[in-house]
Amino acid sequence: MENQTLEDQSLENRTIEILLVEDNASDIELALRAFKKNNIYNKVHIVKDGAAALDYLCRTGPYAALQGYPQPKLILLDLKLPKIHGLEVLRKIKSDERIKIIPVVILTTSKEEQDLIESYKLGVNSYIVKPIEFDNFIKVMSELGLYWLLLNKLPYK
């Protein structure tokens, strides 16, 4: 439900500060609840697979109309994604001159060693494991928002 209200508002009229790449409906709802608590709810755009994430960032496919609009301040990227795996999305982002400066935070369920190493090799800015306990989850999301949207300075607006 909450998801739909977000999609009702046209993307052109909203300032998107966070791109959330997540396929799990429950995780999306819980993340949105956390964002709502931190008043960044309407600054989030959600895509549900790796291909859509790249379309959004490269302004291709369904997002061609967003050409010229500002890019998000943060990409929250899950790893196990349909179509294109999170690590591959990360590799594409970090090898594309136009979007490589956008901070990417991996937000995933597992802390598999090989994922961690590979993510950092590809130039990820941070790697966060989603806590199972909801209070901790809320805390992590709020800290993420605070740090990347308020404290962190970016070389673009």
Partner 1 sequence: METILEATNEIFIGVEAKKGYNSAILNILDDFVIEKERLQQLQRASLNLLDDMYEERIGLERTQRAIMNILEDIEAEQQRAKRSQQLLEAANKELEAFCYSVSHDLQAPLRAINGFAQVVVEDYASKIDPEGQRYLRLIQENSQLMGKLIQDLLGFSRLGRQQLSSTEIDMEKMAKEVFDDLKLHMLDRTIQFQIDPLPWAFGDPAMIHQVFVNLLSNALKFTAIRDVAMIEIGFRQEGDEGFYFVKDNGAGFDMRYVDKLFGVFQRLHTTEEFEGNGIGLALVKRIVTRHGGRIWAEGAVDKGACFYFVLPKEMR
Question: Could you list the residues that contact partner 1 (CB under 8 A)?
Answer: 24, 26-27, 30, 33, 79-80, 108-110, 112-113, 130-135, 137
Least CB distance to partner 1 at residue 55 (A): 24
Least CB distance to partner 1 at residue 144 (A): 16
83/63 Cα distance (integer angstroms): 17
52/22 Cα distance (integer angstroms): 11
Q: Which is nearer to partner 1, 33 or 91 (CB)?
A: 33
Q: Which is nearer to partner 1, 101 or 117 (CB)?
A: 117
Three-class SS state of 119 = helix
Q: Which is nearer to partner 1, 27 or 55 (CB)?
A: 27
CA-based Rg of the chain, rounded to a whole angstrom?
Answer: 14
Least CB distance to partner 1 at residue 29 (A): 8
Q: Which is nearer to partner 1, 57 or 81 (CB)?
A: 81
Least CB distance to partner 1 at residue 78 (A): 9
Beta strand 104-108 pairing with 126-129: parallel
List the end-to-end C-alpha distance of the chain, in Å, as a whole number.
31
Three-class SS state of 129 = strand
